Structure formats: C-alpha cells, structure tokens
Amino acid sequence: MAITAVKVILTCPGRNYTLVKIETDQGVYGVGDGTLNGNEATVASMLQHMGELIIGHDEDRVGDIWQLLYHWGYWRNGPIFKSALSAIDIALWDIKGKKAGMPVYQLLGGKAREGAMVYGHAHGKDHVEVEDSVRSFMERGYKAIRAQPGPYGGAGMLARSSPRRPDLPPTDTFEPTPYMLQVAPLFDHLRNTVGLEIELLHDVHEQLTPIQAARVAKDLEPYRLFYLEDALRPEYLEGFRLIRAQSTTALAIGEIITAREQYLMLFREQLIDYIRCAPIHIGGITEAYKMMTLAEPYQIKSAFHGAADIGPIGQAAAVSVDVVIPNFGVQEWTRFPDQTYEVIPGAYEMRDGYAYPNETPGIGLDIREDLAAKYPYNPAWMPLVRRADGTVHVY
C-alpha cells in the first residue's frame, strides 16, 4: 500500500486548472484540484515539490499525510502552499472512496440533506439588465442569485486601460462613491420587480473601508440580502465590528482566507454569518470539514467559493462537504464550458437550484490526460486596479 506517483496536470480547457493524479501500487488512482486563479503554474510547481515527499507513503493515511506536508517544509500556510496541499488531500479522499466503494460524502458520514442549494451570478450594465439576468436564473430554478451591477465594480469602475505589454493584465480605474451610490438602488429595483422571496446576494470584492462598508450594509438592510460578501479586505478583519454594530445585513467573507486560525476572532465575536473559503484553497476536504466543525457552535454557515476558477473537481469537493455538514448555508455554482467537462468528466449535477454529488465511488470525477494535453496552459493574470488619482487599489 503505497503512493507510486504524483502527476501534475496543468491544462486550459476554457481556463487554467492545476490538477493532480495520485497513483498507487494497487492500480487505484485519485484526482485532485489545486487551481489558484492567476497562479496555476506556481501551484503546479509547489505540487511537484510536495509530491516527491509522499512517494512511498501509505495512501490510506490521509490525515497523517496532511500533517506531514503541513509541517515537513517548515514554511507553511499561504494560498500557494495550501492549494497544493488541497489537491493532494482531495486525491487521497478519492482513492479512499474508490477503495471503500463509496462516494466521499458517505465517508464523511453521509447526507444531512438531499442536495446543496446553489447560487449563480447575475449581472448587467443597468438595473433592467441585472433584473433580466436574475429572472433567467429564476427560470432555471435557482433559489439564490448574486446580483452585481456591471461585470466588476459596477458604476465604480470608471475606465480600463490597456497594459503596457500585451501579455500583462489591463488596469481598471475604480472609485467607491459611484459604486456605493448604485448598490442600494439596484436592490430596491430588484425587490420591486422580482419580489421578496428569491434569495439575493451581493459581492463588494473588498473595495470599501469599514465606514463605507457599514453604510452600504445599512443602506441594503430593507432589501433583505442572503448576505453581503467581502465588504472588507481580509487583512483588516477588525472592521467587521463596525459593520456588525451598524446593521443586520448578513455578512460573508473568506475566499482568500486560507487558514482556519485567521477566522478565530470573527467566530468568537460572531461578526460574520457565512464563510466563503473553497476546499481547494484551504487544505482540501479534511480541512473544509474541520473548518465547518469549528464554525458550528458560533452558528456560522458555509458558503464555499465556487467561481469559474474552481473547476469541476474543486466544485465536487465542496458539494461533498456541503451535503454532510449541519451548518451548510449555500454553494456558489458555475456551469463550465463543454471542453472542461470533456477533460474532467463526471462533474456533479445541478437541478432546480440544488447540486447533487455523484454516487460513483470516490470523488466521482476523472481527468482525461490525453485531452488535457490538447489544451495547454495559457498564462493569465488578475487585472490591476487603481483609484482615479493613480493609487493602487485592491481587485
């Protein structure tokens, strides 16, 4: 019983994904995903390095391998490290499920619910376009929908300038005031047109200061958001005290928080309602389950990150935990382009607003290495953002 190979697969079937296949001496293999948007090749290199350490180890010892990798390198934590660790952890759970003849959610204790409620992304350049986009999700059975003015930053995104070299990302110009002035009227429009029952969410993408975020949360109160996401940068978590004291708008944060320990103050003071981490960025299924167990007594629920940069295997890892934990909240959901499903077959299904895990043993997905090779890695970066006066701002 030993790991014989850790194969790293960097592929771009629609967008870049950092995947892993762990092989064993019994012929059983497992697949994992450690994609980190804009850093796919860096995680691949981390995975190659980590992979060397576990060749010859007993693949059954998932928790021990996690601890080994976490401590062995001395330098630990951070998104690159944790994403590589996540990919390995997911692949090991896949192997365990295949050997046991059970889907991963069964190994975690079995279903606490039939499916995981998901939300999709609605956006448009004006209120009516956003409303139309929200309605199209409602028609497809979605029970929860994130609504954003414009593709990113809404009216706050004043301009986009070309990069100084074609291989670099563009620079966007963002100002908070036009964005802040737009948010509450958008939700006023939506509540007046699509009604009160559909769950609506909004993502600030960290672009405000605590006092600005508190004002937006307060302005949004009458529109009963499922949650307001990333109102602040995760470096400045104390600011959530101010927002919390000012409003009853539910709050979520965490897509770039990669360590459980970083949440402790938010948990203890119950400053948030939902955690936005992705199993593929925090340490896999092992860590996602522990994270949610830690959050449970503080009545904080899951809202695992599931944007397009988290591929079908990452999505499956999230849903496998979603259907098991008592404190499930919602799952962000993406439909991928056809070529993604060809390279990574077996993706979980979403029907009528709920995601369902596969009944196939393991994580239930595969990687077609032959097809992956047809879609080579295509270097890509996140855009840069500056304020109108040129100051570098957060994306």
Binding site for ligand GCO (CB under 6 A): 37, 203, 205, 229, 255, 305, 307, 309, 332
Q: Indicate which of ligand GCO, Mg ion, none lies near residue 309 (CB less than 5 to 8 Å, by partner kind).
A: ligand GCO
Comparing CB distances to Mg ion, the nearer of 234 and 346 is 234
Instruction: Establish if 332 lies at the interface with Mg ion (CB under 5 A).
Output: no
Tokens of 191: 């509540």
CB of 12 to Mg ion, least distance (A): 22
Reduced to 3 DSSP states, what percent helix, strand and coil does the chain have, rounded to the nearest 5? 40, 20, 40
Instruction: Establish if 203 lies at the interface with Mg ion (CB under 5 A).
Output: yes
Q: CA-to-CA distance for 353 and 155, rounded, in angstroms?
A: 29
Instruction: Establish if 309 lies at the interface with Mg ion (CB under 5 A).
Output: no
CB of 345 to Mg ion, least distance (A): 28
The bridge status of strand 17-24 relative to strand 3-11 is antiparallel
Residues 243-272 interacting with Mg ion (rule: CB under 5 A): 255
CB of 137 to ligand GCO, least distance (A): 15
Comparing CB distances to ligand GCO, the nearer of 65 and 183 is 183
- The closest alpha carbon to 23, from 106, 80, 88, belongs to 88
Query: Site for Mg ion (CB under 5 A): how many residues?
Result: 2
20 forms beta bridges with 8, 32
Q: Indicate which of ligand GCO, Mg ion, none lies near residue 133 (CB less than 5 to 8 Å, by partner kind).
A: none
Q: Quick check: 83 and 18 in contact, CB under 8 A?
A: yes
Which residues does the annotation mark as catalytic? 152, 205
Comparing CB distances to ligand GCO, the nearer of 219 and 229 is 229
CB of 325 to Mg ion, least distance (A): 21
Q: Quick check: 115 and 328 in contact, CB under 8 A?
A: no
Comparing CB distances to ligand GCO, the nearer of 33 and 203 is 203
CB of 256 to Mg ion, least distance (A): 9
Q: Which residues contact 280 (CB under 8 A, 6 or more apart)?
A: 33, 34, 35, 83, 86, 87, 90, 310, 313, 314, 317, 318
Angle in degrees, 0-180, between the axes of helices 62-72 and 284-295, rounded to the nearest 10? 90
351 forms beta bridges with 354
Comparing CB distances to Mg ion, the nearer of 172 and 255 is 255
Q: Indicate which of Mg ion, ligand GCO, none lies near residue 37 (CB less than 5 to 8 Å, by partner kind).
A: ligand GCO
Q: Indicate which of Mg ion, ligand GCO, none lies near residue 332 (CB less than 5 to 8 Å, by partner kind).
A: ligand GCO
The bridge status of strand 301-304 relative to strand 274-275 is parallel
Q: Which residues bind Mg ion (CB under 5 A)?
A: 203, 255
